[in-house]
Amino acid sequence: MALSNLSSKSLYASPHPLSSNNQLQSHNHQQQPNLSVWKRTAGGSRSNLPSISAVHAAEPAKNPVKASPAAAAPVAAPAVSSPAKWSVDSWKTKKALQLPEYPDENALQDVLKTIEEFPPLVFAGEARSLEEKLGDAAVGKAFLLQGGDCAESFKEFNANNIRDTFRILLQMGAVLMFGGQMPVIKVGRMAGQFAKPRSDAYEEIDGKKLPSYKGDNINGDTFDEKSRIPDPQRMIRAYCQSAATLNLLRAFATGGYAAMQRVTQWNLDFAERSEQGDRYQELANRVDEALGFMAAAGLTVEHPIMTTTEFYTSHECLLLPYEQSLTRLDSTSGLYYDCSAHMVWCGERTRQLDGAHVEFLRGISNPLGIKVSQKMDPSELVKLIEILNPANKPGRITIICRMGAENMRVKLPHLIRAVRRSGQIVTWVSDPMHGNTIKAPCGLKTRPFDNILAEVRAFFDVHEQEGSQPGGIHLEMTGQNVTECIGGSRTVTFDDLSSRYHTHCDPRLNASQSLELAFIIAERLRKRRIGNRGFLGM
């Protein structure tokens, strides 16, 4: 399907993410009525609005539904045992860390009201579909591949960058699926991953001290006073960029680009003549042979499951005013969803049990991630999971571990045992990036590939030791040919860093390093499945 011919219905009709399975669409339309939403007037009466599809229906919203205190009465958070009521702005009663201080409150409120009127970026049915799949990953029936930019930027926003990141995720997904012989859940750190928490509120260069850069949806990275002032208009630009990114991702996912028959064409040009490119080409040829066998046997390869892919989006739930403005009430379920992404996560710096971010997250029904480091106390983790998922729904909670290899071997077993004793169902995922950041002699931040690999191996070793399931991998990566992380088979040295160092925040794996890591993980998945024989000559 050509991008120019991709209709709004083909983009948004399916409750399943970024895919166009007509049978699934037909089934779900029978199951789910159109949305009808009412807005309460000042006197408490309801004024009818037209039936719309702001969250989950066949056509995009024409009249967006805001989930504000004025639009709906506060409700109890889904499956929260506490008698405390939740509303979309109840987080404001809690202490909020890492939020910017906007100099003009009126300008901020004008922007938030504008975003409340915008259509949702994703739909509730898509988020529910992701939750079901993450539930499979929790018990070893699927594997999560979550990756993308450390922080998206306005400057590097273009179709080629989106395509290249999507393409490397497709390649990695094919490698992992072939090795693990299980579904791979592809989730991008895309279409909304702008805001970044910072350890220090200020940074100093040559004696000049200015507020830290917090992401393009908050302030600018140029080191001057004007750029570092938080500007609410940046949220509107971030929304528009997210919408455009999602539109292109949906087109790639459903328009034939992601068809399994194209598996041999996904190699990036600069990776074709590398060791990883050769290994991928060998795998792609084997997939081609399997498809040829299917066709010869009379099995169609034109089924949507072979011509499309399911792709989800995610980002850190950090900028709460923006997240609140994109929260919608799904009248098919009576639950609230943060429609800025399919999945959002709570960062290491904002996961306080009594904090504003946890308060907001407990009331939305999206699948949630919790970033944990070696600092996480096992009993605190259990309490946090109880707050966010008291109904113990599989797929609701993904624990994203970021510790460093040695800490992983020491600390992770205690977290796994505490969660197991509590009877809680979670999906365990490794983030081998954040615990391995160092400063190079040239002053740039980098991450050694060997350290990243060591943490991934430690993650799998611990789960094997504990009898638990390694549910996925979470990476900061790009499809670009950058030189930000040192090491890998196409060795990037300290001296190479400055040649193609483009990140706005933390260093990312390039395409070759990402694919190399995927092959190593695929080998571990294969060994778990059938024993210790090699995979593609490894």
Where are the extended beta strands (E) located within 93-168? Answer: 143-148
The answer to whether the annotation marks 94 as part of a ligand binding site is: no
> Can you name the residues that pair with 370 across neighbouring β-strands?
346, 399
Q: What is the mean pLDDT of residues 449-467?
A: 97
Tell me the domain boundaries of the chain: 124-530
> For 374-396, how does the pLDDT look when each residue is reduced to its tens digit (9 = 90+)?
999 999 999 999 999 999 999 99
Cα distances from 323 to residues 103, 153, 188, 350, in angstroms, run 20, 18, 18, 15
- For the cut 50, the answer to whether the pLDDT of residue 350 exceeds it is yes
Helix, strand and coil in the chain, % to nearest 5: 40, 15, 45
**The listed CATH number (3.20.20.70, 3.75.10.10, 1.10.10.10, 3.60.40.10) that belongs to domain 124-530:** 3.20.20.70
Specify the pLDDT at position 531.
65
> What's the residue count for the chain?
538
Other beta carbons within 10 angstroms of residue 265's beta carbon come to 10
Question: What percentage of the chain has pLDDT greater than the value 90?
Answer: 66
Return the higher-pLDDT residue of 301 and 80: 301
The answer to whether the annotation marks 402 as part of a ligand binding site is: yes
Name the most confidently modeled range: 14-18, 65-69, 188-192, 268-272.
Answer: 188-192
Specify the pLDDT at position 285.
79
The answer to whether the annotation marks 189 as part of a ligand binding site is: yes
The answer to whether the annotation marks 342 as part of a ligand binding site is: no
DSSP string, 239-260: HHHHHHHHHHHHHHHHSSTT-G
> For 295-317, how does the pLDDT look when each residue is reduced to its tens digit (9 = 90+)?
777 766 666 767 789 999 999 99
Cβ–Cβ < 8 Å for 512, 485: no
> Can you name the residues that pair with 172 across neighbouring β-strands?
none
Specify the pLDDT at position 280.
76
Cα distances from 82 to residues 96, 327, 362, 366, in angstroms, run 21, 22, 11, 19
> For 150-169, how does the pLDDT look when each residue is reduced to its tens digit (9 = 90+)?
999 999 999 999 999 999 99
The answer to whether the annotation marks 282 as part of a ligand binding site is: no
Rounded Cα distance between 287 and 405, Å, is 34
Cβ–Cβ < 8 Å for 141, 181: no
CA dihedral 454, 455, 458, 463 (to 10 degrees): -150
Cβ–Cβ < 8 Å for 366, 158: no
24 — pLDDT class (breaks 50, 70, 90): very low
Specify the pLDDT at position 510.
94
Cα distances from 241 to residues 153, 231, 380, 381, in angstroms, run 9, 16, 37, 34
Contact residues for 292 (Cβ-Cβ < 8 A; gap 6+):
none
- For the cut 90, the answer to whether the pLDDT of residue 27 exceeds it is no
Question: What percentage of the chain has pLDDT greater than the value 70?
Answer: 80
Q: What is the mean pLDDT of residues 344-360?
A: 98
Strands 368-372 and 343-346 turn out to be: parallel
Rounded Cα distance between 181 and 309, Å, is 16
Exposed/middle/buried for 60, CB within 10 Å: 0-12, 13-18, 19+?
middle
Specify the pLDDT at position 260.
75
Rounded Cα distance between 423 and 416, Å, is 11
Q: What is the mean pLDDT of residues 429-451?
A: 94
User: Of 371, 328, 337, nearest to 351 (Cα)?
Assistant: 371
Specify the pLDDT at position 25.
38
Cβ–Cβ < 8 Å for 386, 418: no
Strands 427-430 and 397-401 turn out to be: parallel
Rounded Cα distance between 406 and 374, Å, is 10
Burial profile 472-506: b = 16 or more Cβ within 10 angstroms, e = fewer: bbbbbbbbbbbbbbbbbebebeeeebeeebebbbb
Rounded Cα distance between 453 and 521, Å, is 9
Which of 68-72, 307-311, 326-330, 402-406 shows the lowest per-residue confidence on average (mean pLDDT)? 68-72
Q: What is the mean pLDDT of the chain?
A: 84
